[in-house]
Amino acid sequence: MIKLYNYFRSSAAYRVRIALNLKSLPYEYLPVHLVKGEQRDERYRTINPQALVPTLVDERGTISQSMAIIEYLDETVPDPPLLPATPEARARVRSIAQAIACDIHPLNNLRVLKYLTGTLGASEGAKNAWYRHWIEIGLAALEEQLAADHRTGAFCHGATPTLADICLVPQLANARRYALSIDAYPTLERIESNCLALDAFARAAPDRQPDAAQ
């Protein structure tokens, strides 16, 4: 049985939950309460020295980093594929996914926000402005990229969900959590609603996780 160290509000863990559901892989949900700081406990740091979730553990070993985990799942359980068949299409999907996972999400991570308000003394207002700024410029660029490309379909790439959608949906959930309007991104919103109509995405949502009430 796969074990996934998880937190309901973690968008990186949310990506992995979606991938596991798309692959119909059952897993054990091991909550790590990020706001209480459990990711920094010695016990968890022996599993993931980066003190971040998610971490996946299976019979082959322990893997950190959501993108590495998802590509691992895709290679070990190829059906349904989360990356398209041709190199150019795979590059497109990875470029959308990485625009989120590398350029938007890390700037808004809990430890970054805590550093802003703690070590650098930024106000709550300044922290929220920072959060919104990086999401807004990232999503605006993605909207432009996706709206202009004929390869965009019901999903970010064509008619089936890929790694790009797996990254997009949690990022939009984060945006909403900080009361950001996503009306300015109609293509992203349309793709999100197609994703959320699928059970694999819907079941992975933060409010449906076992630690959501804690």
154 CB-side CA count, 13 A: 9
Q: Taking the complex as a whole, how short is the minimal distance between the CB of residue 73 and ligand GSH, in angstroms?
A: 13
Which residues are CB-neighbours of 31 under 8 A, at least 6 positions away?
6, 7, 8, 209, 210, 211, 214
Residue 72 CA to residue 76 CA, distance in Å, equals 6
Q: Is the dihedral of CA 31, 209, 207, 168 positive or negative?
A: positive
Identify which of residues 35 and 137 has a Cβ nearer to ligand GSH in the complex: 35
CA-based diameter of the chain, in Å?
A: 49
Residue whose entry in the numeric block shows the structure tokens 């959060």: 131
Q: Taking the complex as a whole, how short is the minimal distance between the CB of residue 31 and ligand GSH, in angstroms?
A: 12
Q: Taking the complex as a whole, how short is the minimal distance between the CB of residue 62 and ligand GSH, in angstroms?
A: 13
Residue 92 CA to residue 86 CA, distance in Å, equals 10
Identify which of residues 8 and 194 has a Cβ nearer to ligand GSH in the complex: 8
Name the site residues for ligand GSH (rule: CB under 6 A): 10-12, 34, 39, 52-54, 65-67, 101, 109-111
CB-based contact 5:32 (threshold 8 Å): yes
Strand partners, 28: 3
Q: Taking the complex as a whole, how short is the minimal distance between the CB of residue 186 and ligand GSH, in angstroms?
A: 26
Identify which of residues 66 and 209 has a Cβ nearer to ligand GSH in the complex: 66
Identify which of residues 96 and 101 has a Cβ nearer to ligand GSH in the complex: 101
Strand partners, 20: none
Identify which of residues 100 and 195 has a Cβ nearer to ligand GSH in the complex: 100
Q: Taking the complex as a whole, how short is the minimal distance between the CB of residue 63 and ligand GSH, in angstroms?
A: 10
